[in-house]
Amino acid sequence: MPTVAVVTDTTHYLPKGMLEGLGVLEVSLYVNFGGRQEREADMPDFEGFYDELRSSAELPTTSQPSIGDFLAVYEPLVAAGHEIVSIHLSGGISGTVESARQAAAEIAQRGGLVAVVDSGTTAGGMAAVVLAAAAATRGGGGIDAVVARAEAASEATKIWFAVDTLEYLRRGGRIGTAQAWLGGALKIKPILTVDGEVTPIERVRTSSRAFERLIDHLRARQADGATAWMVQHIQAPDEARRIVDRGREMFGTEPLFVSQIGPVIGTHAGPGLLGVGGIAPALLDERV
């Protein structure tokens, strides 16, 4: 039976080096800012990008990988005898997964097999899906088992994130059903999730209340058995550390990972984001 390789895109924002240790390959999205285009994978300094974003009147734009970008990753894997499970950010907020499907169709014409999975989410939620799929491959799972694990993780993983303002989502056109909160709502501290598209959870008035609601979400995840927990942020390291401290007290364990979200998603969410989520440890088990 061919071994299965996992491919994803750069919007997982797992800590640097974590993917390499798992043998997962990635295809980069692009950021267009100040007349230059950069591959997100080649941007080591997210801080510099966000400092520029805060002071710029012009919002960057982002773009999906080309079919050729996907083929450049898929072809060597297929040539080495692998089947591929390719996991990507929600098709409701990006055309990335559609580019992957078109590249997979080309590979199929050459006798290779690529199964494309729309994670229905992004950032930490997609990272959990990728980790679950990678665990299934390490356990020797075939392509159907790996896809099933990824889909189960997608269904089970719930992430919440609080942003300082809806302004970046509004300007970037990625506001989804939170559109109903526009107008006077720009001064609130929105709590959102990604369920196919950006979806509103709750409006709160203060940063402290938003912080406590994220803690409440972690508590609910713990009650549901999703005790492999995660924290992400955008230029909010102190607040992220406070969440980690509270999470340690709650779970009695270290987080699965803590990381900063990069420019492709950060362009639309803006600095100050805090995000939390959890996944059941069984979905990260190598046994299939």
- Report the CATH number at residue 130: 3.40.50.10170
Q: How far apart are CA 218 and CA 167, in angstroms?
A: 26
**Side chain identity at 55, as an amino acid letter?**
S
Alpha carbon separation from 221 to 159, 224, 275, 278 (Å, rounded) = 10, 5, 13, 6
Q: How far apart are CA 123 and CA 168, in angstroms?
A: 17
Residue 177 has pLDDT above 50, yes or no: no
Question: Which pair of tokens denotes residue 201?
Answer: 């959870």
| pTM of structure | 0.93
172 and 128 fall within a common domain: no
Instruction: Report how many domains make up the chain.
Output: 2
Closest of 277, 234, 23, 243 to residue 131, by C-alpha: 23
pLDDT in tens, 4-21: 999 999 999 999 889 888
207 and 147 fall within a common domain: no
Question: Which pair of tokens denotes residue 84?
Answer: 């591929």
- Report the CATH number at residue 275: 3.30.1180.10
Final residue of a domain: which of 134, 155, 176?
155
Q: What is the mean pLDDT of residues 208-234?
A: 97
Closest of 20, 273, 32 to residue 134, by C-alpha: 20
Query: 3-state secondary structure string, 121-170?
Result: CCHHHHHHHHHHHHHHHHCCCCHHHHHHHHHHHHHHCEEEEECCCCHHHH
Q: What is the mean pLDDT of residues 168-195?
A: 63
27 and 135 fall within a common domain: yes
pLDDT category at 172 given cuts 50, 70, 90 is low
Share of the chain above pLDDT 90, in %: 75
For residue 74, the enclosing domain spans 4-155
Final residue of a domain: which of 155, 172, 205?
155
145 and 184 fall within a common domain: no
pLDDT of residue 181: 47
95 and 221 fall within a common domain: no
pLDDT in tens, 113-134: 999 999 999 999 999 999 999 9
Share of the chain above pLDDT 70, in %: 93
DSSP state of 45: -
pLDDT in tens, 132-162: 999 999 999 999 999 999 999 999 999 999 9
136 and 278 fall within a common domain: no
151 and 16 fall within a common domain: yes
Residue length, the chain?
288
pLDDT in tens, 247-269: 999 999 999 999 999 999 999 88
Residue 183 has pLDDT above 50, yes or no: no
163 and 117 fall within a common domain: no
pLDDT in tens, 17-74: 898 889 999 999 999 988 889 999 999 789 999 998 888 888 899 999 999 999 999 9
162 and 151 fall within a common domain: no
Final residue of a domain: which of 114, 133, 155?
155
163 and 145 fall within a common domain: no
47 and 148 fall within a common domain: yes
Answer with the residue of higher pLDDT: 164 or 102.
102
120 and 168 fall within a common domain: no
pLDDT in tens, 267-282: 988 899 999 999 999 9
pLDDT of residue 180: 47
